[in-house]
Amino acid sequence: MSWTRIPTAALLAAGLAAGCATPKPPPATLSFTGRDCAAAPDLAKAVSLTPPKPKPMFVVTTPIGAQVGTPVAGPPACLERAGAQRPYALYALPKDPAGKTLMVGSVLEGARIFSPEVALLDATGQVTRSFTPADYFYRADVYSVQFQPKAGETYILVDADPARVSRRYDSIAIGVNTTATYVAGVGAVTIRTGVDAKQSRTFSYDGQVQVTVYDAAADAKKK
Amino acid sequence: MFRRFMVALAALSLTACASPYVAKPFDRAAASVQTLGLAGDAVPEKAMAYESASVGSNFGLIGALVDAGIQSSRQNAVNNALQGASFDPEARLQARLVGQLAAEGYKVQPLPTAARPKREFLATYGSDQEVDAYLDVVLASYGYLSAGAGKPFRPTAYANVRLVSAKDPTKTLMQNRIVYNPLLAEKGVITLTPNPAYAFNNRADLLADPKRLAAGIEDALDQVADAAAQLVR
């Protein structure tokens, strides 16, 4: 940490300039048109949730939606389900699911939240478990469901729920900022200031899916 | 109350460095639970009224001592005002929980509960109750919280929720943490955003209308109870 002696006005100006330079967060995408959407997910392309070595917490974050389509990689993976085209991400459950708890959902970005619909699939891709809207909670910065895998469950499918797209989530987040400064005649001083910010986000077809795998055995071993 | 809040905050910071908070989701189909014993003494005796980054807290030891006096005086004034508003947070939370759990199809029996020595889960729940599981909702703190000087006071509540099998009290069927208006949003913890209708600019504003003061906390407790019931649906 370095202490600085900079006039308040200069700090304020720098802060304002930084504020101007901050790029706007990506807005919500309220429609999605896929290309060659499949009836079932491509099981061969499932992202593994087995970490290279056991960890108490293993987090995988995946961009999803039209934003991930590129001329080289092609269009984003999509499904045709219940009369709607939906971008999706597919994950393979940890190889040894016993004692693991998973949190699956969407990251709360600056202006948007991917509208998640989470389901568990068996080894053939058939849905074995799904979740209702009441199963989803805001858990810190992830809108998610939480579950423990059962026998016969192999994959997690996360696709877009069109019913929630365009709904707003207004929230208030509070916190404390700590800054260090130098005051003539006093010395180094740490200043704590409160933050109370209103935020508004919209559910979207684009965003980031996040899966967190909690491993009780790895956590116990660490202790 | 202030000490309890700071201990909870410190524990939160420590857990961020050590083990992650891991909830246990409920599997209703596998658990076969129809009747719940609902533990009592869920709510602490006094509400908090705490300003986090206060002016005094930025001025060393003397500032901290002055700040402690200001915080304590505000908390006492808020609790006196709540008493005048016939505020009963324990009854409010329990009634809401019973209503929401009944709506989810549970039969609920309140458990006779002695005062908790600490704001933690009960160690035992008694064996003479004819219930399938014990639901323990315990608030570490509740009341009003401001992020810092010049920022509004908003309702807050910090609750731990646990469902324990009555047949095998060593078996936890569900465990979660619900925080209404958190100062630090801990990963994996259910966070409820505060209702903007209940924001108070300062101490005078907090004390101006005791009924509204109580209503803000009641609204927070209702939302915590709803979330707790949602976890066992």
Q: Cβ of B23 and A146 within 8 Å?
A: yes
Q: Cβ of B185 and A140 within 8 Å?
A: yes
Question: In the predicted model, what is the mean pLDDT of chain A?
Answer: 89
Is the pLDDT reported for residue B8 higher than 60?
no
Is the pLDDT reported for residue B15 higher than 90?
no
Q: Cβ of A139 and B187 within 8 Å?
A: yes
As a whole number of angstroms, the distance between CA A129 and CA B97 comes to: 28
What local confidence, expressed as pLDDT, does residue B63 receive? Answer: 86
- Determine the average pLDDT of the residues in B159-186: 96
As a whole number of angstroms, the distance between CA B190 and CA A138 comes to: 6
- Determine the average pLDDT of the residues in B82-89: 95
- Determine the average pLDDT of the residues in B94-101: 98
CB A159 within 8 A of CB A82: no
Is the pLDDT reported for residue A14 higher than 60?
no
| Percent of chain B clearing pLDDT 90 (strictly above) | 81
| Kind and range of the H or E run holding A11 | helix A8-21
Is B61 near chain A, with CB under 8 Å? no
Q: End-to-end alpha-carbon separation of chain A, Å?
A: 31
- Determine the average pLDDT of the residues in B8-36: 77
Q: Cβ of B148 and A193 within 8 Å?
A: yes
What local confidence, expressed as pLDDT, does residue B16 receive? Answer: 46
What local confidence, expressed as pLDDT, does residue A39 receive? Answer: 95
CATH code reported for the domain at A28-167+201-217: 2.60.120
Phi-psi region of A187 (alpha: psi -120 to 50; beta: other; left: phi over 0): left
What local confidence, expressed as pLDDT, does residue B3 receive? Answer: 52
What local confidence, expressed as pLDDT, does residue A3 receive? Answer: 36
Look at residues A165, A158, A160, A162 and name the one whose alpha carbon lies nearest to residue A89.
A158
Cα A132 vs. chain centroid, distance in angstroms? Answer: 19
Is B211 near chain A, with CB under 8 Å? no
| Kind and range of the H or E run holding A171 | strand A168-183
The per-residue pLDDT for range B132-154, each reduced to its tens digit, is 999 999 999 999 999 999 999 99
Give the chain A residue nearest B26 (alpha carbons). A147
What local confidence, expressed as pLDDT, does residue B127 receive? Answer: 61
**Of A11-15, A119-123, B187-191, minimum mean pLDDT range:** A11-15
Is the pLDDT reported for residue A86 higher than 90?
yes
As a whole number of angstroms, the distance between CA B165 and CA B130 comes to: 12
| Kind and range of the H or E run holding A210 | strand A207-215
Helix (H, G, I), strand (E, B) or coil at A141: coil
Is the pLDDT reported for residue A138 higher than 60?
yes
Our CA-based measurement puts residue A197 at a distance from the nearest CA of chain B, in whole angstroms, of 10
Tokens encoding A170? 């207004």
Is A146 near chain B, with CB under 8 Å? yes
Q: Cβ of A196 and B24 within 8 Å?
A: no
**Of A167-181, B7-21, B62-76, B209-223, minimum mean pLDDT range:** B7-21
Is the pLDDT reported for residue B57 higher than 90?
no
As a whole number of angstroms, the distance between CA A63 and CA A26 comes to: 12
Is B181 near chain A, with CB under 8 Å? yes
Is the pLDDT reported for residue A140 higher than 70?
yes
Q: Which 8-state DSSP code applies to residue A98? A: T
As a whole number of angstroms, the distance between CA B179 and CA B184 comes to: 10
Is the pLDDT reported for residue B170 higher than 80?
yes
Look at residues A82, A138, A81 and name the one whose alpha carbon lies nearest to residue A106.
A138
Is the pLDDT reported for residue A120 higher than 80?
yes
Q: Cβ of A134 and B230 within 8 Å?
A: yes
Q: Cβ of A190 and B58 within 8 Å?
A: yes
CB A32 within 8 A of CB A66: yes
Give the chain B residue nearest A58 (alpha carbons). B20
As a whole number of angstroms, the distance between CA B219 and CA B225 comes to: 10
Domain boundaries, chain A: 28-167+201-217, 170-199
3 state SS for chain B? CHHHHHHHHHHHHHHHHCCCCCCECCCHHHHCCCEEEECCCCCCCCCEEEEEECCHHHCHHHHHHHHHHHHHHHHHHHHHHHHHCCCCHHHHHHHHHHHHHHHCCCEEEECCCCCCCCCCCCCCCCCCCCCCEEEEEEEEEEEEEEEECCCCEEEEEEEEEEEEECCCCCCEEEEEEEEECCCCCCCCCEEECCCCCCCECCHHHHHHCHHHHHHHHHHHHHHHHHHHHHHCC
Give the chain B residue nearest A215 (alpha carbons). B22
Give the chain B residue nearest A145 (alpha carbons). B25
As a whole number of angstroms, the distance between CA B142 and CA B179 comes to: 10
| Percent of chain B clearing pLDDT 70 (strictly above) | 91
Higher pLDDT: B38 or B127? It is: B38
Place of tokens 């459950």: A93
pTM over 0.80: yes
Strand A187-204 and strand A112-114: the pairing is parallel
Look at residues B176, B167, B169, B143 and name the one whose alpha carbon lies nearest to residue B157.
B143
What local confidence, expressed as pLDDT, does residue A4 receive? Answer: 41
What local confidence, expressed as pLDDT, does residue B184 receive? Answer: 87
- Residue B72 has, within 13 A of its CA and on its CB side, a CA count of 7
What local confidence, expressed as pLDDT, does residue B189 receive? Answer: 97
The per-residue pLDDT for range A16-65, each reduced to its tens digit, is 455 556 789 999 999 999 988 999 999 999 999 999 999 999 999 999 99
Is the pLDDT reported for residue A198 higher than 80?
yes
| Kind and range of the H or E run holding A193 | strand A187-204
Is B32 near chain A, with CB under 8 Å? no
- Determine the average pLDDT of the residues in B93-100: 98
Checking ipTM against 0.95, whether it exceeds it is: no
Is A122 near chain B, with CB under 8 Å? no
Our CA-based measurement puts residue A9 at a distance from the nearest CA of chain B, in whole angstroms, of 21
Q: What angle do CA A49, A52, A53 make, to 5 degrees?
A: 110
Higher pLDDT: A212 or A34? It is: A212
As a whole number of angstroms, the distance between CA A149 and CA A34 comes to: 30
Strand A207-215 and strand A100-107: the pairing is antiparallel
Q: How many residues does chain A have?
A: 223
Question: In the predicted model, what is the mean pLDDT of chain B?
Answer: 92
As a whole number of angstroms, the distance between CA B43 and CA B141 comes to: 8
CB B46 within 8 A of CB B75: yes
pLDDT tier, B17 (very low <50, low <70, confident <90, very high otherwise): low
